Structure 1
Amino acid sequence: MFLFDYIVNLSIFSLLVILPLVLLSSIQFKSIKYYRIWVGIYGGIVSVILVMLSIQHLGYSYDIRYAPAILVFAYFGPVSGIITGAIMLVARLVQSGNWYPAIMGWTMIMVSFSVLHFYIKRFSLVKKCTIIVVAYVVMYTMIVFYFNILEDHPAFHVQYVSFVILGVILGGVLLESYGKLYRVHQQLSAMYKLLWDSEANYRLIAENTSDLIMVVRSDHTISYFSPSHQSVLGFKQSDLEKTVLCGFIHPEDVTMYKQTIEMMFNHKNSSTLEFRMKHSEGHWIEFESRCKPVVGENGEIEQIVIISRDISERKKAEELLLQSEKLSIVGELAAGVAHEIRNPLTTIKGFVQLNKVVGGSTQYNDLVLSELSRIEGITSELLSLGKPQAVQLTEKNVQELVENTIQILSPQALMNDVRFHLKGEEKPIIITCEQNQIKQVFLNVLKNAIEAMKDGGDINIQIRKIGDKECLLSVQDHGCGIPEELQPRLGEPFYSLKEKGTGLGLMICHKIIKQHHGSIVYKSKVQEGTTVEITLPCL
């Protein structure tokens, strides 16, 4: 009978503990004002209900009313615990007699719990609950012996204390579970807030930037268009989502765009490219796009983020700057042309006059023809420098271009006892270029190397890749070399180390290499030779 009554008490107690926890969960764990007082009152109500379910035995009432008091003290402190204890005591006194042991026992327990809380307030909840339970067992034992309560029924007291402890354990498990659930909820709420704030910040940037932001999936479809597409390109969001991106890209740029995206998915590299996109009104806008791959948890690229910026104004500014640079050297060109052409003209004039005086002799014809050839060469270089040329970029094998240039220079090399040694790589190195311009660069550099080796010798040419996106062509001669202080001036117009040079050849080389987004560097030592290193982008 006792066992059944205690089980009923424990079941009702567990239900009463769960009830407020479920209610708190349903209102999203919102904090309640003066919650310690409300907890104390509710704990007292639970104790009253447990008192009403007391087990009567030999004139004494037994129940697990102290289980909620212990839990309230351990989890919410002495304020809540004393409120619970006070309500519990009133219910006990109203229900039955024997006030003196009830009041004395209640006082001893409340005082001991309050004092213990002062010393153990920094402990974990489980430790505090354990210590208070031990204190309760000690107090209960002292009260039993002091008031001679059923001393000849020790099994009853053991059973009573055991069920109180079991009630505390059940309540503690429920409260700990709720605590873990609350902490998980708080962590999730913080994570959701952080995620929401982060998304709001990114959305603020994406929706208010003039740059175009796109996200490309692995199947090359677009998963996101920033709202700036409408303001920059004039298309509505719905129009963009229904159309393949390549439909907006200039036909001449589609292949480059597809190759770049495919290469990024295959090699996981970031990339920068320029292409034109169509405005809703029909004109084309130039964009510079920075592409960044997004790698998933499996190490594979899931998406590519493309941020594109309108560079139409920059392109116009670059063209204006180029024209300004051309105009700035007009004066220098005019002075150089006047000087360079005046010298051979003076020579021609002198020999023509001398020829007239000596009666039409032809012994000076070779000199006149030589000077006329000089004038022709100067004017040709000036035309090459100043005349705008239509550029048609094609993909070419750089080694084939060099080999073709060597064939052109073979007669001159043979006459000067010069031998070319070309060393390349097994796999072809492909560059995007205007082949005639690049051949002109190779022709000028190799011709200079031949002319620097008056006694003949070997010219070593090496072609190799640097990383994934660049190739290097080095031309090494064993000629007279260039003094270090003169090397920075190489490429200036009308600056040449050759007796009859104009300096326009190297200037044209620098211009062409710059147009191809490459670089040209000189390494030279006097009497040891010169190495010219040309770096160009490659595929």
Structure 2
Amino acid sequence: MLDKINVENPQLFIHAFENAGIGMAIISLDGKLLKVNQSLCTSFGYTAEEVLHLSMKDLLHPDDLAIDKLIIQELTEGKRKSYQMERRYIHKDNHEIWAIMNVSLVRDENDQPRFYISQIQDISVQLRTVAKLRESEERYHRLVEESPDGVIILKEERCVFINKTGVELLGLSSKKDIIGRTIFDFIHKKDHKAYKKRDFCRESVGPLEKRFIRMDGKIITVELKAIPTTFRDEPAVHVNIRDISASKKAQELMINSEKLTIAGQLAAGIAHEVRNPLTAIKGFFQMMEKDVTENKLYFDVIGSEINRIEVILNELLLLAKPQEAKFEFKNIEVILNHVLTLLESQTNLNNIQIIKNIEPSIPLIKCDENQLKQVFINFLKNSIEAMPRGGMIHIDVLKQSPTSILIRIVDQGSGIPEHLLNRIGEPFFTTKEKGTGLGLMICKNIIEEHKGKIKIESSPSGTRIEIHFPTS
């Protein structure tokens, strides 16, 4: 069959046909397979002898037979010299094959149709790879789009993509509000210089704290991490932004609260120390004033200054008085969950696992929510700092009696020496190098204001804190 084809070098054509890397077939006008090469047999899973007992209809996908009729009609009528398309075939074991088919109609010297020559290149593997890649891209896109962090992709410092969280974080009405704009439109001017120093296109940077400006003008503090990436086959920067304004505010409130407490205690101490001798001075001065008639003006000035000192001392004592707590019935589990969310980054960074065990139906307790948060933050931060190599912190909430609950915090830290345990809670006493010694004292005061009790036990294998609160 092959040697009858009118070509300049029949032997060369035969060699090319039989050894081609893609499937080749000579097909009769009625669709019978007259000659096939080994590549086609391999693609379809048949032997050469089996294939020659088949027609093209046996190999084609049933849904594509109508297309085959159109191809035959256009080739026969001379509308096309050849036809190329992607189409489906059926393997011997009945699975689907995708291939690129190229077919030509061979005519005799009288221009009458003789047979078809077809090339069939199996592209199933490539299509599966493309499908997996597309699926992977879609999965990545969903992950980015639904990420709890804002995601911005930059090309030459201009935004080309932003996810839904980023839109909400920056207060945008839609993604169009930022696409094409420079990132510096949203970074606080005072942070521009520090941002420009970094080469985000070449190295991962962060996490960094930066100030961003929302569309409504509100300034927020974000944690920013930038990673070099590609976007539509061009270099780009993937920027993760997380709003940490609330946690920063909580930290500042905690620091300010501690500072105010220190100031209050110092003020109280100073006021009491000064008031005692001042009372004596004022008493003797008033006695002297009755007996002396000369230089009355001097006595008036001294008396006025003593009164002014008394006013200052009274103001210092007012500063020393704690602010009135707002007691409401609250769910202790909700308060603990808020605290654990706030400290999540610190526990992850220090390789610390929080194991929480809360009994069902724990009754509400009457408390000042912010003050209790301050207590739990202080204790948990102490536990984290005591475990530089990581470990576990157990938090148990138990119903101890019909009228009280127990909150137990147990860590695996280095512990507190036994001879120092009794001093825990004293002002300015601390076992930490950079501690103030006021944190635990504040916690003890808060717990006592809530009519609670605290017990601290410690050993080289860890510290155990038990807090009892009334429920009614």
* TM-score under structure 2 length normalisation: 0.36
Give the TM-score normalised by structure 1. Answer: 0.32
Point out the structure with the larger helix share: 1
**Structure with greater Cα Rg:** 1
